[in-house]
Chains A and B, each alone.
Chain A
Amino acid sequence: MTTETTTVRPTARRILPPPVTGQEFVLTGVIVALWVLLGVFTPAFLTPGSIQPLLVSVAPIALIGVGMTFIIITAGIDVSVGGAIMLCAVITAKMMVTANLPLPLAVGLSIAAGLLLGLVNGVLIAYGRVHAIIITFGTANLFQFFALRVFGSETVNGIPGTLDVFGRGEAGRTLGVPHSFAIMIVIAAIAWWYLRHTTGGRHLFAIGGNANAARLAGIRVQPRVMVAYAVTGALVGLAACFFIAAGTSTLDQAVGSGRELAVIAAVVIGGTSILGGRGSVIGTVLGAILVQTVTSGVTQLGWPSQLATLFVGVFIIIAVGTDLLRQRVRAQP
């Protein structure tokens, strides 16, 4: 811009950061490159039979990742989602077996259960003023304990096929698109809009950026923080239905285990700052796709599966490293 031009009034568009960040372009590029490479080396990769299951496995991780993005933007974290998935899934599966719930009731029950668990976390963190990692580490164990009690040391068998609409099979797709993935995309789009264009969404960024300043600016910090955990809980409930549908009429005790790390990895790789105040839902979805691509790619190439873990680890370090470097550069006068 030359200085002699008349004053350029800021426009609405330019107040906000660009709708898609540079990091998201990079992620998209990496994913496309990986898909092309995998397509070249394993011809089976770029076929519906390979891509559809990939998208089905992305769906629950990205869905919970949307909620986790809200939480991490407020400079919090939730490591209890693995335990929460397990508890929601086992309650819902048991009720389906005993009462043969119709689809809306089964999904409603799971979401309600998840919402309740999220509220427990949210109330303790927002009003108990204990750091999120401590609270959710505790509740993770509690949720797991209750889930195992419901399991009663055996797998849940004979689950009716009500939830197959979210599954890998033909019933789970319309025009070749997995329903679970489509639902996740819709919810992610709503979340993206919420974070960007509503006061509630913008306040989450403010809280994560400087909680004290947010309080002084008259933002009701505690309810906002609580809602972030509650939303995540509800999304965990929906994702639990996807996990039930992924099995073949059985649900074992391994459900949900370790998923909190996959979710947090997706969020962090997606460019959301672990220090709070900055992040995006689009990045999280891309992060989840990248993680699943690497996992499934390693399998399809016939490489040892530990390599997937290695790659994900490297991605996380790169993502966090970039973020910290950015903050440090900015801290210089």
Chain B
Amino acid sequence: MSALPADETAYRLEMRDISKSYGGVRAIRHADIAIRPGTVHALVGENGAGKSTLIKIIAGAEFADAGAISFNGEPITISSTTDAIQLGVQTVYQEPQLFPELSVAENVFVGRELTRGVRVDWARQADQMHDLLATVGLPDRISTAPVGTLSIAEQQQVSIAKALAGDATVLILDEPSAILTDAEIEVLFTVIRRLTSAGVAVIYISHRLDELFRIADVVTVMRDGETITTRPIGELSVRQIAELMVGGVVSESRPQNGAATGEVVLELDGFSRTGRFDGVDLTVRSGEIVGLYGLVGSGAGDIASVIYGMDKATGGRMLVSGRPVTVRNPAQAKRLGIHLLPANRSAQGAFSFQSIALNIVVGELGLLSRIPGWASRRRERAIAQEFIRRLAVKTPTERQPISAMSGGNAQKVVLARQLVKRPALLVLAEPTQGVDVGAKEEIHRIISGLADEGTAVLVVTSDLGEVLRISDRILVVRAGQITAEFRPDATQVEILAAAAGADTPDADTTPAPIVIQEDQT
């Protein structure tokens, strides 16, 4: 360990004036963060605020374009993950980065094995496992189990043990609680306190603001790539942090939607999927846009997957136009008139090397001709051209491959596919993720237009501005349950506070979010 005196005021890690751009987009601008040993330093911000980029720079996975880093007061450069590891900067990623086939003990030591000559010294590793496992609260016998057989929570504890085996001086926890149950979070906190009392500096990233008050000492808020403020956590409330995260942005008024007076198209009643979400009740009417807002790991995305038959429900009922249904697969969902715009465009949406035209019509090849099995290229072209015009897709021709298009235009193409046959219910998962501002605007306009024409729309999103802008009603999902409902005149702060868990009343906070009871007419 470092020979420096354990000065209480000295920073373990200090980053000043850090900037980083990706292809012209500024991900981080002049960010500052400084972490003292033995403290938990929370890092919060909305999606895209620059938290991940900042963390990657500390961990050596990305390099800053500008700025200075010092470690225990010494200026240093971190140019690879190996550099960071040598300083004792260890990261526990949200998705455990482990090797499923290898035993827990091997996973813990991989990359820094204890050796005797060229041989791995299994005996000495086994010895050290005892203390490491005790620190992270796992039983000894687990060290021989293949990691692939453990639960996610156990895998995370293994990840922390792995970080400790590398003599962690700075431990970065990236949304560690997003995938954990409440009981598991308690274990995590105990582990974190044990580490800080041993002098480790912990950087704690979380969307769940309520828990920060139980674990963090200091909080740094990021917004739009800048570090807005760094304060002792005691000086702030959940609401104040939410306000800092959102900034002074006034939510824009959404385009005028038609009143939600239609028939109920989708009704969920006690809808559940074990471990993902539980007892979800919601209705979406024809012509209505319902926004389902939840943070990473809240279960909002899982609700969409189950509605579309990608995963199975384990409890509750789903009714489509009043008829109880069990959707077993996406093909059946489509027959019921349910269409889904998937969240991950490149993995689940686009056929990248294929033309725009094919990407638009691929879901409805049956419409291309009356002869089964025959696809008329002329019809394909006609339909494609119609949608390119209707959705204002910017492309010279419908023959262009979708891989050559910008994110926004590609998203419009994938959206067009859901509209070739008018859906009764359109589920949109993160419809504007990775899309530029102009295209975002247009996609919102298209969605509103669809609702006005009578489609029931369910927008699942973690984009606060978006959910406020286009929804007629907003449901907040937290820990797998719908915890609050808002009208679109709610403020960003109210919604964020509900989603991030401001249910512990704060002295200087307005009371818990107003839950609107919709009259069930």
Q: Which residues of A contact B (CB under 8 A)?
A: 1, 7-17, 197-200, 202-203, 205-206, 209-210, 212-219, 273, 277-278, 330, 333
Let me know if A333 and B275 touch, CB within 8 A: yes
Shortest A257–chain B CB gap in Å is: 34
State which of A1, A16, A202 has its C-beta within 8 Å of the C-beta of B110: A202
Let me know if B120 and A197 touch, CB within 8 A: yes
Contacts of A217 in B (CB 8 A): 97, 110-112, 162
Contacts of B139 in A (CB 8 A): 7
Q: Which residues of B contact A (CB under 8 A)?
A: 59, 61, 81-82, 85, 91, 93, 97-103, 105-106, 110-113, 115, 118-120, 122-123, 125-127, 129-130, 139-141, 143-144, 146, 148-149, 151, 162, 275
Let me know if A15 and B111 touch, CB within 8 A: no
Beyond A15-B143, A15-B144, whether A9 also contacts B130 by CB under 8 A is yes
State which of B81, B129, B148 has its C-beta within 8 Å of the C-beta of A216: B81
Beyond A10-B140, A12-B122, A219-B110, whether A199 also contacts B115 by CB under 8 A is yes
Instruction: Please list 16 pairs of residues, one from A and one from B, whose beta carbons are closer than 8 Å in the complex, sorted by A's number.
Output: A10-B141, A12-B122, A14-B126, A15-B129, A17-B146, A202-B106, A205-B101, A206-B111, A209-B100, A209-B101, A212-B97, A216-B91, A217-B110, A218-B81, A219-B110, A330-B100
Beyond A199-B120, A217-B111, whether A12 also contacts B126 by CB under 8 A is yes
Q: Which residue of A lies closest to B139 (CB)?
A: A7
- Nearest 8 interchain pairs by C-beta: A12-B122, A217-B111, A209-B99, A213-B97, A12-B123, A15-B105, A218-B111, A10-B143
Beyond A15-B103, A16-B103, A209-B100, whether A214 also contacts B140 by CB under 8 A is no
Contacts of B149 in A (CB 8 A): 330
Let me know if B100 and A197 touch, CB within 8 A: no
Report the Cα distance A197→B118, complex, angstroms. 8
Number of A-B contacts (CB under 8 A): 112
Contacts of B275 in A (CB 8 A): 333
Let me know if B126 and A17 touch, CB within 8 A: no
Of A1, A12, A15, most B-chain CB atoms within 10 Å: A15
State which of A10, A199, A277 has its C-beta within 8 Å of the C-beta of B129: A10
Q: Which residue of B lies closest to A217 (CB)?
A: B111
Let me know if B97 and A1 touch, CB within 8 A: no
Contacts of A200 in B (CB 8 A): 118
Q: Which residue of B lies closest to A11 (CB)?
A: B126
Let me know if B115 and A10 touch, CB within 8 A: no
State which of A14, A206, A219 has its C-beta within 8 Å of the C-beta of B102: A206
Contacts of A214 in B (CB 8 A): 99, 110-111
Let me know if A1 and B141 touch, CB within 8 A: yes
Let me know if A9 and B101 touch, CB within 8 A: no
Let me know if B100 and A8 touch, CB within 8 A: no
Let me know if B99 and A206 touch, CB within 8 A: yes
Let me know if A15 and B101 touch, CB within 8 A: no
Q: Which residue of B lies closest to A196 (CB)?
A: B120
Let me know if A277 and B97 touch, CB within 8 A: no
State which of B112, B118, B144 has its C-beta within 8 Å of the C-beta of A14: B144
Of B59, B93, B118, B146, most A-chain CB atoms within 10 Å: B118
Contacts of A16 in B (CB 8 A): 103, 106, 122
Shortest B205–chain A CB gap in Å is: 16
8 other A-B residue contacts (CB within 8 Å) besides A10-B105, A197-B122, A218-B111: A10-B130, A12-B122, A206-B111, A213-B98, A213-B99, A216-B61, A217-B112, A219-B111
Beyond A7-B140, A198-B119, whether A205 also contacts B102 by CB under 8 A is yes
Let me know if A17 and B110 touch, CB within 8 A: no
Shortest A247–chain B CB gap in Å is: 39
Report the Cα distance A187→B190, complex, angstroms. 50
Q: Which residue of A lies closest to B59 (CB)?
A: A216
Report the Cα distance A203→B139, complex, angstroms. 26
Shortest B99–chain A CB gap in Å is: 4
Contacts of B143 in A (CB 8 A): 10, 14-15
Let me know if B106 and A15 touch, CB within 8 A: yes
Contacts of A330 in B (CB 8 A): 100, 148-149
Let me know if B82 and A218 touch, CB within 8 A: yes
Beyond A199-B113, A202-B120, A216-B91, whether A9 also contacts B61 by CB under 8 A is no
Contacts of B118 in A (CB 8 A): 198-200
Report the Cα distance A9→B162, complex, angstroms. 18
Shortest B114–chain A CB gap in Å is: 10
Shortest A324–chain B CB gap in Å is: 14
